[in-house]
A = this chain, B = another copy of it.
Amino acid sequence: MIGRLNHVAIAVPDLDAAAASYRDTLGAKVGAPQDEPDHGVTVIFIELPNTKIELLYPLGDDSPIRGFLDKNPAGGIHHICYEVDDILAARDKLLDTGARVLGSGEPKIGAHGKPVLFLHPKDFQGTLVELEQV
Protein backbone atom coordinates (compact mmCIF):
# COMPACT_ATOMS: atom_id res chain seq x y z
CA MET A 1 0.00 0.00 0.00
CA ILE A 2 2.53 2.65 1.01
CA GLY A 3 4.86 3.91 -1.70
CA ARG A 4 7.66 6.47 -1.53
CA LEU A 5 8.72 8.26 1.61
CA ASN A 6 7.45 11.73 0.72
CA HIS A 7 9.17 13.59 3.57
CA VAL A 8 10.49 13.56 7.12
CA ALA A 9 9.17 16.50 9.17
CA ILE A 10 11.33 18.05 11.87
CA ALA A 11 9.82 20.55 14.34
CA VAL A 12 12.32 23.30 15.11
CA PRO A 13 12.41 26.08 17.73
CA ASP A 14 14.28 28.52 15.45
CA LEU A 15 13.54 28.33 11.74
CA ASP A 16 16.39 30.60 10.60
CA ALA A 17 18.93 28.65 12.64
CA ALA A 18 17.61 25.32 11.34
CA ALA A 19 17.71 26.55 7.72
CA ALA A 20 21.28 27.78 8.22
CA SER A 21 22.25 24.46 9.75
CA TYR A 22 20.99 22.50 6.73
CA ARG A 23 22.23 25.02 4.13
CA ASP A 24 25.61 26.04 5.55
CA THR A 25 26.64 23.11 7.77
CA LEU A 26 25.14 20.15 5.88
CA GLY A 27 25.30 21.79 2.45
CA ALA A 28 21.73 20.92 1.41
CA LYS A 29 19.33 22.75 -0.94
CA VAL A 30 17.08 24.76 1.38
CA GLY A 31 13.92 26.51 0.15
CA ALA A 32 12.22 29.71 1.32
CA PRO A 33 9.84 29.74 4.33
CA GLN A 34 6.16 29.25 3.43
CA ASP A 35 3.35 30.12 5.83
CA GLU A 36 0.64 27.46 5.95
CA PRO A 37 -2.07 29.13 8.06
CA ASP A 38 -4.52 26.25 7.53
CA HIS A 39 -2.00 23.93 9.22
CA GLY A 40 -0.65 26.32 11.84
CA VAL A 41 2.93 26.03 10.64
CA THR A 42 5.60 27.83 8.68
CA VAL A 43 7.42 25.31 6.52
CA ILE A 44 10.82 25.16 4.85
CA PHE A 45 11.45 22.30 2.42
CA ILE A 46 14.91 20.84 2.03
CA GLU A 47 15.29 19.03 -1.29
CA LEU A 48 17.39 15.88 -1.15
CA PRO A 49 17.98 13.82 -4.30
CA ASN A 50 15.41 11.18 -3.29
CA THR A 51 13.03 12.83 -0.80
CA LYS A 52 12.45 15.99 1.26
CA ILE A 53 13.00 17.20 4.80
CA GLU A 54 10.24 19.50 6.01
CA LEU A 55 11.24 21.96 8.76
CA LEU A 56 8.16 22.96 10.79
CA TYR A 57 7.81 26.07 12.94
CA PRO A 58 4.64 27.08 14.81
CA LEU A 59 2.36 29.66 13.16
CA GLY A 60 -0.43 31.19 15.26
CA ASP A 61 -1.62 30.39 18.77
CA ASP A 62 -3.21 27.03 17.95
CA SER A 63 -0.30 25.48 16.09
CA PRO A 64 -0.46 21.67 16.28
CA ILE A 65 3.31 21.52 16.85
CA ARG A 66 3.38 23.92 19.83
CA GLY A 67 2.86 21.05 22.31
CA PHE A 68 5.56 18.97 20.66
CA LEU A 69 8.07 21.81 21.01
CA ASP A 70 7.03 22.36 24.64
CA LYS A 71 7.96 18.72 25.28
CA ASN A 72 11.04 18.84 23.00
CA PRO A 73 12.46 22.36 23.31
CA ALA A 74 15.48 21.59 21.11
CA GLY A 75 13.17 20.28 18.35
CA GLY A 76 12.91 16.77 16.99
CA ILE A 77 11.47 14.55 14.28
CA HIS A 78 7.72 15.16 14.31
CA HIS A 79 6.36 12.78 11.66
CA ILE A 80 7.12 10.81 8.52
CA CYS A 81 4.95 10.90 5.41
CA TYR A 82 4.36 7.97 3.08
CA GLU A 83 2.74 8.30 -0.33
CA VAL A 84 -0.36 6.33 -1.30
CA ASP A 85 -2.20 6.15 -4.62
CA ASP A 86 -5.72 6.32 -3.18
CA ILE A 87 -6.09 7.87 0.26
CA LEU A 88 -9.70 6.80 0.81
CA ALA A 89 -8.91 3.18 -0.08
CA ALA A 90 -5.86 3.33 2.20
CA ARG A 91 -7.92 4.78 5.04
CA ASP A 92 -10.62 2.14 4.72
CA LYS A 93 -8.06 -0.68 4.66
CA LEU A 94 -6.35 0.77 7.75
CA LEU A 95 -9.62 1.13 9.64
CA ASP A 96 -10.43 -2.51 8.78
CA THR A 97 -7.18 -3.60 10.48
CA GLY A 98 -8.05 -1.60 13.60
CA ALA A 99 -5.58 1.26 13.01
CA ARG A 100 -6.76 4.67 14.14
CA VAL A 101 -6.99 7.68 11.84
CA LEU A 102 -6.67 11.04 13.60
CA GLY A 103 -9.28 13.81 13.47
CA SER A 104 -12.55 13.37 11.58
CA GLY A 105 -11.15 10.62 9.38
CA GLU A 106 -11.71 12.76 6.30
CA PRO A 107 -8.59 13.79 4.36
CA LYS A 108 -7.47 17.42 4.56
CA ILE A 109 -5.48 19.25 1.91
CA GLY A 110 -1.83 19.20 3.02
CA ALA A 111 1.09 21.56 2.55
CA HIS A 112 1.66 20.24 -0.99
CA GLY A 113 -1.98 20.77 -2.05
CA LYS A 114 -2.71 17.01 -1.90
CA PRO A 115 -5.11 15.08 0.40
CA VAL A 116 -3.49 13.88 3.62
CA LEU A 117 -4.41 11.89 6.73
CA PHE A 118 -2.55 11.25 9.98
CA LEU A 119 -2.42 7.86 11.76
CA HIS A 120 -2.22 7.34 15.51
CA PRO A 121 1.40 7.01 16.76
CA LYS A 122 0.36 4.27 19.18
CA ASP A 123 -0.50 2.03 16.22
CA PHE A 124 2.89 2.63 14.52
CA GLN A 125 5.70 2.20 17.06
CA GLY A 126 5.38 5.66 18.57
CA THR A 127 5.72 7.29 15.15
CA LEU A 128 3.23 9.82 13.83
CA VAL A 129 2.56 8.70 10.24
CA GLU A 130 1.11 10.97 7.56
CA LEU A 131 -0.30 9.50 4.37
CA GLU A 132 -0.38 11.70 1.27
CA GLN A 133 -2.20 10.87 -1.94
CA VAL A 134 0.05 11.57 -4.94
Contact = CB atoms under 8 A, between A and B. Distances in A.
A129 B126 CA distance: 19
B126 A5 contact: no
B18 A72 contact: no
Interface in A57-105: 72, 74-77, 80, 82, 93-94, 97, 99
Contacts of A77: 77, 80, 126-127
Contacts of A111: none
A48 B122 CA distance: 22
Given A74-B121, A94-B25, A50 B4 contact: yes
Nearest to A13: B125
Contact of A51 (B11, B27, B51, B93): B51
Interface residues of A, number: 42
Interface string A1-41: 11111001011110000100100111110000000000000
A113 interface: no
Contact of A127 (B5, B76, B80, B94): B76
A123 interface: yes
